[in-house]
A and B are shown apart, each in its own frame.
Chain A
């Protein structure tokens, strides 16, 4: 011992047990406000927190680190000598605000999301059976009636709109009339659309905004689309076929869709439209095509956001099939996984909001204000925070990498925004890299982020969900979300407190949480002055697995 002391560091090279480190760390004062520690696996089984001379408050954030989609991890957390939390609301935030959005407008997007997920899953499944030879593109036989250079306003074309059954066999052709042709778009209107729909001027204006806003913005961030129909444009088909997908007035409505089927050759997929095309809701003021009324004004207001979203899907799928040659090990087309594809599509909506509002990311938007920004927010921006709030309400049972639904999309968007804000690369570099990949899902993310542990990003993001704009003096910038101040924005949108599901634990109490892969849970607790509080964590009664990572942040 004497010799060791004389040598000074003789013992420091030995590995020290985390338990001893944590005990010493706690003895030396423990966490400062805004500071976090993270433990994993067996290390997380017991956590001791001492409040030396003041009462303190903490948030305990278990995270499920698993690349397997939609997997559950059940944990039990028992508190010992833990105290009540302060009156400052864990889910705080002002319920006041002037940016209220109606619940019906929010719900109105739901079916659109669900349909899109089904179409995406169907396309991925079907593409598993379509082996694409290297000369696939050469086998394309573009349909003459959709070739932009030869199309003219007033021309009638046939477009397959079916979304059910075998995607390559079922055909439900609708007749469309070319209503406007701009530099980047061909606007086609279904000749059987309900009365009271878009005027020729409306189509022209949609095309103009597509050219001036949507195309330059989306291609800046997600790269250029393919042009398999060799017309230099995308086709936007405004059709009642979209309205007809809404069967009742209880679950919202379908706003539009893109189908990767339409990028396939007819040789391998007979029902393909063989072109860059997406489908948009038609105005229906008398509810003739579905039980829901859609005024011309409301569809005009939402159409470009939908188009921007679908445009990312189109670019992503087209480049994977024809440019990046993304193939699975068996040589079949590898589309992007739904959660990441949807997350990127919602980022497309966000970047359109920034462009239209004259704002930029990393400006911690707490209020949409008035004028241009407010208008842009309600055209392009508000649905992302709303979906994110749905995720927060059900945070342990949903995941950014989960099955396609509103909650997972809100989470995936917020996660990708966090990654973009926290990496040194430009946003467009990051998103283009994710689009131009031969891999998909987590593997794609890990390759682009140059990490072997994407879970660490999801975990940090999960902590930032709680800490951003709430914990004073957060020491680690990775615990912040620089672009949005959701603690202020969401209460102002919903007129209710910040919706994050945060639980509290008391002494002797055991809380059970079931956490989806890549998602987190939130437990708040207090520690009285001079007391040592302990949290014991098990999984199914046993030592926690390595896939459990726990972060503790001192919040007061």
Chain B
């Protein structure tokens, strides 16, 4: 066992550049993102009759870059889609998608900014609120994809504008009415601020 770990260390060191991580994109970073989500497909208004509307979204998470080009990330994400018919039904005017997102990030470093690409897995749920209660769908697995730019502001800080797509099913199990499911799909335009430690 020990010999195995000792064997891995040179491999990891070989992958890492020989200079400080903060200058090369290698290391740990924290990131906060905020933007606007736009429903798509049936979630925007399909055969079921449910029509979500665009709403704010935010995410808080972290990233570990093993190399300047490859890293993993994880975040808590919440999006508040508008729901026009909800108000008529005495529900809060928003339906909330929230949960975890994790995946891989590939970057292409350049001088002042660098494009990046993400592919992730979601574990999220959709909820409605009203009458002083909150009704949450079962937590389900979906996927996401994003691309954007990383613009260096100062040592350690980056602006990270991006666009993304997500898709996750939400299944509601009711007691008094038949169960229902909806596929949550949306495009997001957002801006992130990252700090590399």
Interface residues on A, range: 35 or more
Contact between chains at A20 and B128 (CB < 8 Å): yes
Residues of the B chain whose Cβ atoms lie less than 8 Å from the Cβ of A39 = 176
Contact between chains at A24 and B85 (CB < 8 Å): no
Residues of the B chain whose Cβ atoms lie less than 8 Å from the Cβ of A15 = 175
Contact between chains at A52 and B99 (CB < 8 Å): no
Q: Is A310 an interface residue (CB 8 A)?
A: no
Contact between chains at A27 and B85 (CB < 8 Å): yes
State which of A1-9, A163-171, A349-357, A427-435 sits at the interface with chain B.
Answer: A1-9
* Main secondary structure on A side of the interface with B: mixed
Q: Is B111 an interface residue (CB 8 A)?
A: no
Residues 101 to 128 of chain B near chain A (Cβ within 8 Å): 123, 125, 127-128
Contact between chains at A532 and B89 (CB < 8 Å): yes
Residues of the B chain whose Cβ atoms lie less than 8 Å from the Cβ of A2 = 76
Bound state CA distance, A81 and B48, in angstroms? 21
Bound state CA distance, A38 and B175, in angstroms? 11
B78 to chain A: closest residue by CB? A5
Residues of the A chain whose Cβ atoms lie less than 8 Å from the Cβ of B136 = 9, 11-12
Q: Is B51 an interface residue (CB 8 A)?
A: yes
Q: Is A30 an interface residue (CB 8 A)?
A: yes
A50 to chain B: closest residue by CB? B85
Bound state CA distance, A314 and B163, in angstroms? 81
Instruction: Give A509-527 as 1s and 0s: 1 = Cβ < 8 Å from B's Cβ atoms.
Output: 0000000000000000000
Bound state CA distance, A15 and B136, in angstroms? 11
Instruction: Identify the A interface with B (CB < 8 A).
Output: 2, 5-6, 8-9, 11-12, 14-31, 35, 37-39, 43, 48, 50-54, 532
Contact between chains at B176 and A43 (CB < 8 Å): yes
**Interface residues on chain B, number (Cβ under 8 Å):** 39
Between B99, B175, B178, the greatest number of chain A beta carbons within 10 A of the residue's beta carbon is seen for B178
Bound state CA distance, A5 and B77, in angstroms? 10
Known contacts A8-B99, A20-B128, A52-B51; is-contact A25 B83 (Cβ 8 Å) = no
Contact between chains at B182 and A28 (CB < 8 Å): yes
Q: Is B164 an interface residue (CB 8 A)?
A: no
Known contacts A17-B131, A532-B85; is-contact A6 B178 (Cβ 8 Å) = no
Contact between chains at A27 and B98 (CB < 8 Å): no
Known contacts A6-B100, A17-B131; is-contact A53 B89 (Cβ 8 Å) = no
Return A22 CB to nearest CB of chain B, in Å.
Answer: 6
Instruction: Give B43-76 as 1s and 0s: 1 = Cβ < 8 Å from A's Cβ atoms.
Output: 0010111110000000000000000000000001
Residues of the B chain whose Cβ atoms lie less than 8 Å from the Cβ of A37 = 176-178
Residues 162 to 179 of chain B near chain A (Cβ within 8 Å): 172, 174-178
Bound state CA distance, A12 and B127, in angstroms? 10
Q: Given B50, B91, B95, B123, which contacts A52 in the complex, CB threshold below 8 Å?
A: B50
Q: Is B152 an interface residue (CB 8 A)?
A: no
Residues of the B chain whose Cβ atoms lie less than 8 Å from the Cβ of A23 = 86, 89-91, 128, 130-131
Bound state CA distance, A48 and B130, in angstroms? 14
6 tightest A-B contacts by CB?
Answer: A52-B49, A8-B139, A29-B48, A29-B49, A23-B89, A25-B177
Between B95, B98, B172, B176, the greatest number of chain A beta carbons within 10 A of the residue's beta carbon is seen for B176
